[in-house]
Structure 1
Amino acid sequence: MSRNKPLKIALSARLFHPREGATGIESKTLQVLEQSIAQWLMSRDVLVLMVPSILKDGPIHRSNIRLRDYADYLDGLVLQGGADVSPETYGERPLQAEWAGDRVRDAYEMELLHEFVEAGKPVLGICRGMQLLNVAFGGSLYQDIPSQFERAARHQDAAYDRHSHEIVFAPEGQFARWFGGKPGGHVVSIHHQCVRSVGKSLQVEATAAEDGVIEAIRHTEHGFVVGVQWHPEFHTPGHDSLLDCAPLLEAFYAVARGRR
Structure 2
Amino acid sequence: MAGRPLIGISTYLEAGARWGVWELEAALLPAGYPRLVQRSGGLAAMLPPDAPEHAAATVARLDGLVIAGGPDVEPVRYGAEREPRTGPPARERDAWELALIDAALAAGVPLLGICRGMQLLNVALGGTLVQHIEGHAEVVGVFGRHAVKPVPGTLYAGLVPEETSVPTYHHQAVDRLGTGLLASAYAADGTVEAVELPTADWALGVQWHPEMGADLRVVRGLVTAAS
For normalisation by structure 2, the TM-score amounts to: 0.91
Q: Which has the larger radius of gyration?
A: 1
Aligned letter for 2:207?
Q
CA displacement, residues 111-154 of structure 1 (integer Å, 9 cap, x when unaligned): 111112211100000000000000000000001113xxxxxxx1
Alignment-derived partner of residue 138 in structure 1: 126
**Residue of structure 2 equivalent to 1:62:** none
> What's the RMSD between the two structures over aligned residues?
2.1
The answer to whether the aligner puts 1:232 opposite 2:210 as a matched pair is: yes
Conserved? CA contact 2:145–2:167, under 8 Å? yes
The CA distance in 2 between the partners of 1:81 and 1:158, in whole Å, is 17
Is residue 34 of structure 1 aligned with residue 20 of structure 2?
A: no
Which residue of 9, 12, 15 maps to 2:10?
Answer: 12
Query: The residue matched to 1:66 in structure 2 has which SS?
Result: helix
Amino acid at match of 1:185: T
Structure 1: gaps spanning 5 or more residues: 57-64, 147-153, 237-243
Segment drifting more, 161-170 vs 69-78: 161-170
CA contact (8 A) 1:134 1:198 kept: yes
Percent sequence identity is 33
Q: 1-side partners of 2:131 and 2:57: how far apart? A: 34
Contact 2:74/2:89 (<8 A) preserved: yes
Larger relative contact order, structure 1 or 2 (CA cutoff 8 Å, min sep 6) = 2
**Residue among 195, 218, 222 paired with 2:196:** 218
Partner residue, 2:62: 74
Give the secondary-structure state (helix, strand or coil) at the position aligned to 1:25. Answer: strand
Contact 1:11 1:78 in 2 (8 A): yes
Alpha-carbon distance, 1:67 to partner: 2.4
Q: How many pairs were matched up? A: 223
1:165 maps to which residue? 146
Structure holding more strand per residue? 2
Write out the 4+ residue segments of structure 1 that deviate beyond 6 Å after TM superposition. Answer: none
Task: Answer yes or no: is the 8 Å Cα contact 1:122–1:224 preserved in 2.
Answer: yes
- Equivalents in 1 of 2:225, 2:142: separation in Å? 29
Equivalent positions of 1:54-203 (< 5 A) are 54-55=50-51, 66-96=54-84, 98-146=86-134, 154-158=135-139, 160-179=141-160, 181-182=161-162, 184-203=163-182
Unmatched 5+ residue regions in structure 2?
Answer: none
Letter in 2 for 1:196: D
Give per-residue Cα distances to partners, 1:157-182, cap 9 Å, x unaligned.
Answer: 22745410111111232222222x32
- On the 8 A contact 1:87/1:100 being kept in 2, the answer is no
Aligned to 2:220: 250
State the AA in 1 paired with 2:107.
A
Give TM-score, length-normalised by structure 1.
Answer: 0.80
